Amino acid sequence: MKRTTLAWPMLGLLAAIPAGAHAQSAGASADTTFFVTSVGLGKGADLGGLEGADRHCQSLAEAAGIRGKVWRAYLSTQATGGAAAVNARDRIGSGPWQNAKGVVIAKDVADLHGPDNNINKQTALTEKGEMVKGRGDTPNEHDMLTGSQPDGTAFTGSQDMTCGNWTKSGADGAAMLGHDDRMGTDPGPPGRSWNSSHPSRGCSLDALKSTGGAGLFYCFAAN
């Protein structure tokens, strides 16, 4: 009888542990400072602008138990309507950045945009600590929205490379995409890099899917 009486308080304590605590220990680390969004916003490349994309990063991180950080989407915007361009590389802090398993993917901005960064299929994990489906998987979802040149800067000129600065979800426009499962330096015309591989065929979710995407993007802790 005494052993049964002592068991009930222990069961109560276990039941009181938030479900999120178990999820974090099984997936993401609280020290995570880089991840790929596990889901898109459902409207193709219309992310609600940079603000909407940043909110998505923030909400996914907090839902995974990664708190106390300011998250920024790795996205550039182009100069239009009198507004200056925004470079993705200038929005993400100074590093270093590590994934949900504690693996460092880059020590600083220069390293991130150099040939020796550590972004590949095994390291470009979601906020839950899961790999993104890429080459050889069904469906292939390795296309990441970036709107950026290889050095992380915005495109110049009038050609749309950001789906209207992340507000379009139709057939018109295009966005530059990167491959999160790049293999080494992944050369090719154009270079298959993590942040600047090829443009999309449009801005709708179907257009993104047609080349191997799902409206996903990179998130970095900027603080």
pLDDT of residue 166: 98
Q: Is 152 inside a domain boundary?
A: yes
pLDDT of residue 192: 73
Q: Is 12 inside a domain boundary?
A: no
As a dihedral over the C-alpha atoms of residue 156, residue 159, residue 161, residue 167, rounded to 10 degrees, the angle is 110
Tens of pLDDT, residues 120-154:
999 999 999 999 999 889 999 999 999 999 999 99
Q: Is 2 inside a domain boundary?
A: no
For residue 73, the SS3 value is strand
Q: Is 26 inside a domain boundary?
A: no
Cα separation, 196 vs 77, in Å, equals 14
Asked if 176 contacts 161 with a C-beta cutoff of 8 angstroms, the reply is yes
Q: Is 18 inside a domain boundary?
A: no
Q: How many domains does the chain have?
A: 1
Q: Assign residue 175 a region: left if phi > 0, alpha if psi is -120 to 50, beta otherwise?
A: beta
CATH of residue 204: 3.10.100.10
Asked if 195 contacts 146 with a C-beta cutoff of 8 angstroms, the reply is yes
Given a cut of 50, the residues of the chain with pLDDT beneath it are 1-25, 186-191
pTM over 0.75, yes/no: yes
Q: Is 164 inside a domain boundary?
A: yes
Show the domain range for 157: 32-221
pLDDT of residue 182: 80
Q: Is 117 inside a domain boundary?
A: yes
Q: Is 172 inside a domain boundary?
A: yes
